[in-house]
Amino acid sequence: MFGEILQGIVDGTSGALGAILMGYDGIAIDQHFKVCEGVDLSLIAVEYSNVLKEIRRTAEILGTGAMEEVSVRTERLMVIIRTLGSEYFIALAMERDGNFGKGRYLLVREAPRLREALA
Amino acid sequence: MFGEILQGIVDGTSGALGAILMGYDGIAIDQHFKVCEGVDLSLIAVEYSNVLKEIRRTAEILGTGAMEEVSVRTERLMVIIRTLGSEYFIALAMERDGNFGKGRYLLVREAPRLREALA
């Protein structure tokens, strides 16, 4: 179920390297990775789960409403994260010249299905 | 000098609320804010400077290259941050339905001018 949705997002986004469904505790529920050398997507997701908790806390302090989406671009990688309620998130990693807009669109489109399946 | 560039970015992005040029230490160099009730953009930038340090550290641990851009969307606000070397960054805050693509484009376009002026 989850795997199929994750694969659909990865296959539908040019430049995508993988997608992972994860809890804020850093424990993965499901994932779909393409084979890519030198990039440990599980480790990336675990590390970013800590950053997300920090951003969520910041958004709460600032009173700007719940965090919905975070994206980080580094020299070699782009990561888009979409929150799925208060316990889970989905992260999509792609090459830095991957199709950001398409990846983001697919995360928005699939989020309700994932939330429903998680409930 | 800085103020003019910041104003150009804010005026050129529909839905933009303000832009701020800041050090990672949370001290603002210059800023251009539209009047908007209930949103303290200076405070937002200071709080996000802490998040940025955390993301930068994470990117270093992961070996995915230097952080270049971070965006955070919450229920009421969108913030796009672009790094300007190792000491400074520029943050653009906009309404959540503001023109994300245009704002991002203007930050990319103006980053070299800002870096030059900061050097």
Name the burial class of residue A40, with classes exposed (0-12), middle (13-18) and buried (19+) by CB atoms within 10 angstroms of its CB: middle
Closest Cα in chain B to A65? B75
Smallest Cβ–Cβ distance between B74 and the set A48, A64, A75 belongs to A64
Q: Which residues pair with B88 in a beta bridge?
A: B23, B84
Cβ under 8 Å to B: A residues 7-26: none
pTM of the model: 0.92
CB contacts of B73 in chain A (<8 Å) are 67-70
Question: pLDDT-derived band of residue A70, with 50, 70 and 90 as boundaries?
Answer: very high
* Calpha distance A7→A68 (Å, rounded): 22
- Residues A88-118 have pLDDT tens digits of 999 999 998 999 999 999 999 999 999 999 9
Residue A34: its pLDDT value, please? 87
Sites in chain B below the pLDDT cut of 70: 36-38
Closest Cα in chain B to A95? B64
Residue A61: its pLDDT value, please? 87
Are the CB atoms for B99 and B9 separated by under 8 Å? no
Residue A81: its pLDDT value, please? 95
* Calpha distance B80→A72 (Å, rounded): 10
Does the CB of B46 have a partner CB in chain A at under 8 Å? no
Token pair for B71: 């965006």
